[in-house]
Chain A
Amino acid sequence: DAGVTQSPTHLIKTRGQHVTLRCSPISGHKSVSWYQQVLGQGPQFIFQYYEKEERGRGNFPDRFSARQFPNYSSELNVNALLLGDSALYLCASSLVEGLGYNEQFFGPGTRLTVL
């Protein structure tokens, strides 16, 4: 079975641009979470979606937004890119709504570089 897939794998943008990152969860998984991993640090929680509704949001500015589609895939959008947005963006899926103990399965990530 395919794991969590993310596209694109790498992306280069310039400051002020907009970016859309995509994630497809494991088949049957209904919850998707997004994390930002800056080089040399642990991942930081951005969003969690379940059944197309936002169920959690981390401490990120409004430039960051996301949505989940009827097929449970998800998009992460970042507007007005800053140099500090350069990071590995990880998507994770879980079978049901995150209740803390549900295992999250991570994708390979999208490496975003902002110049």
Chain B
Amino acid sequence: AQSVTQLDSQVPVFEEAPVELRCNYSSSVSVYLFWYVQYPNQGLQLLLKYLSGSTLVKGINGFEAEFNKSQTSFHLRKPSVHISDTAEYFCAVSSYNQGGKLIFGQGTELSVKP
């Protein structure tokens, strides 16, 4: 069975500071990894995904993530955050034989303060 653990439920940070949102996964097969963002009262928007190849993945809005197979991690980073980055962030995993099933973590609430 696959699972995802987001290590921080809330991350407060000041504007223009760097941020890292941590995600660890568990799986017995090769995985695909995703980060989604959810703004208040909205659905999920894909930030970035790792399917294969380069372990450093760049996404939208200046976010990037690094796949670390030995650590089974897929941490999300941004060098300088803006107020508009305040949202809930979800890490998710799937695999080839799981079809359309995404397994999500519990979410990390990023709060950017001026």
Contacts and interface: CB of A to CB of B under 8 A. Distances in A.
Interface in A1-36: 4, 31, 33, 35
Interface stretch (A39-47, A60-68, A70-78): A39-47
Main secondary structure of the interface of A (DSSP, over half): loop
B97 interface: yes
A109 B99 contact: no
Contacts of B32: 100-101
B99 A97 contact: yes
Contacts of A40: 106-107
Interface residues of A, number: 31
A94 interface: yes
Contact of A101 (B45, B94, B104, B105): B94
Interface string B64-102: 000000000000000000000000001010111111111
Q: How large is the interface on B (under 10, 10 to 19, 20 to 34, 35 or more residues)?
A: 20 to 34
Contacts, number: 81
Contact of B107 (A41, A92, A101, A104): A41
Contacts of B43: 4, 90, 106-109
Q: Which of B43, B94, B106 has the largest number of chain A CB atoms within 10 A? A: B43
Contact of A58 (B51, B94, B95, B101): B101
Q: Which of B90, B100, B103 has the largest number of chain A CB atoms within 10 A? A: B100
Contacts of A50: 100
Lowest 8 CB-CB distances: which A-B pairs, in order?
A: A98-B100, A42-B104, A48-B100, A106-B43, A106-B44, A98-B99, A100-B94, A108-B43
